[in-house]
Amino acid sequence: DIQMTQTPSSMPASLGERVTISCRASQGISNYLNWYQQKPDGTIKPLIYYTSNLQSGVPSRFSGSGSGTDYSLTISSLEPEDFAMYYCQQYDGSPYTFGTGTKLELK
């Protein structure tokens, strides 16, 4: 199975701050990488697919990049609704696997 490791596991940040979350795969995944947001009430929504494509309705302050084994999610200016858990997910190999998660917290 392809292991997905996210860093940091938690990140205190302030409103308006620019933050970057990293995701590393145990082997190259050819940009087959998605990002999801999980709110404190448990609801999950997709943010980015195929490394850098924004899901419809997702604000443009979210962006994704990366290649090979290393990927990142950047939020350019934090809004109150962005404080949540974030997960990456690969679909290069079966089973689909998710990252270890990053909790974005208000500083």
Binding site for other proteins (CB under 8 A): 1, 32, 34, 36, 42-46, 49-50, 55, 87, 89, 91, 94-101
Q: Which of residues 17 and 30 has its CB atom nearest to other proteins in the complex?
A: 30
CB of 28 to other proteins, least distance (A): 17
Closest CA to 102 of 73, 77, 81: 73
Closest CA to 90 of 39, 35, 42: 35
Closest CA to 18 of 63, 77, 62, 58: 77
Q: Which of residues 66 and 99 has its CB atom nearest to other proteins in the complex?
A: 99
CB of 3 to other proteins, least distance (A): 11
Measured torsion, CA atoms of residues 89, 91, 95, 101, in degrees rounded to the nearest 10: -10
CB of 80 to other proteins, least distance (A): 22
Q: Which of residues 17 and 93 has its CB atom nearest to other proteins in the complex?
A: 93
